[in-house]
Amino acid sequence: MNQSTHQHIKQLIADSGLLHFVKKSRVKNRRFHFKNETILITGAAGSIGSELARQLLNSQFSKLILIDIAESPLYNLMKAFEHENIPNIEFLLLNITDKASVEHLFETYKPTIVLHAAAYKHVPLMEAHPYEAVKTNIMATTFLADCAIKHGVKKFIFISTDKAVDPISVMGCSKRIAENYLLSLSKETSTKFLIARFGNIMGSNGSVLPLFIKQIESGLPLTLTDNTTSRYFISKTKACHLILELSRFETLAPAIFTFDMGNPITIKEVADCLLSFYPERQIPVIQVGMRPGEKLHEALVSINEELVPTQNDSILLVKQRNNTIKMADFNQLKAITPFVDPEKIKEIFKQNC
């Protein structure tokens, strides 16, 4: 690992905020002007949703609606914000798979911008529970998008993942199907759909960094799939800043965008760099093999896509080389129930992805 890569990883680790004895970068949040906008964030208590909310606290907005199904994390977010003295924030415990609740939400609050971060994200869990991926990652996303059109939302930003590129996992397939649905929506609608596709948030819930730190603190060896396994990484602060920048883009048709995340980083490099913060400990790093649904390497675009610069150097348009979008058979997906064998559901994913 060269010195510049080592420094880059160290800064990503520092900016995660998980090592309390390491100073984070001093980042001055930009004020975004959404003075007349009612902003809805789904998955608001998660890593991305909560950071989006934090960055918006210093900005202008008419109202901020924060929804999540996770009771304790949402309560913790509410307590964290209670001293900000901002009256126009609502915290709502809401399940996005509940159509009646979602419809009532749009009718009551009339959001003008939707930042859709809610999703199931853990690859091994979705391999074991593919029905949940259908219900939450696909069907709830399509219903939210339909509600956005029905209720005249101006912008709908969908948070996707690089695992949607040539997907082999249930999670990646579910995100790709959702991407394609949004891309298929008519450009004639007043609602503009933008997709933010990026890699791993360093230090997000369930990601490799907090797992490694827990293993170190427990005196366990660091476990990784393979020494050559690599991922694209981005800090939570940068990713959410770019999502908010993206929300200001004007597009005529639904489009996918990705962010400048530099070169892929191997998980072994992350482990080695993290251990440099604990020079007094002798901790081995062992390979445990690939888990179901995992790839050795991720990509930002497929063979049928290319990257095109935009007005922001850190945001790239993912341009389709042809205009064909593979649409899923939603009648087939809607017919899936909790009682369908998981392996059968995975076969349906393969047919529709």
d(CA 348, CA 163) in angstroms, rounded, equals: 18
Mind giving me the DSSP string for 202-262? TT-TTSHHHHHHHHHHTTPPEEES-TT-EE-EE-HHHHHHHHHHHTT---SS-EEEEE---
DSSP state of 338: T
- Write out the two tokens for 335: 């017919």
160 contacts 197 by C-beta, under 8 angstroms: yes
163 is catalytic: yes
d(CA 206, CA 313) in angstroms, rounded, equals: 30
d(CA 353, CA 349) in angstroms, rounded, equals: 6
300 contacts 258 by C-beta, under 8 angstroms: yes
d(CA 266, CA 19) in angstroms, rounded, equals: 20
d(CA 205, CA 158) in angstroms, rounded, equals: 19
What phi and psi values does residue 351 have, to the nearest 5 degrees? -70, -25
Nearest C-alpha neighbor of 163 from the set 207, 209, 199: 199
Q: Which residue among the candidates 135, 163, 268, 346 is catalytic per the annotation?
A: 163
Environment class of 18 (CB within 10 Å of its CB; exposed 0-12, middle 13-18, buried 19+): middle
Neighbours of 221 (CB within 10 A): 13
Show which residues are catalytic: 163
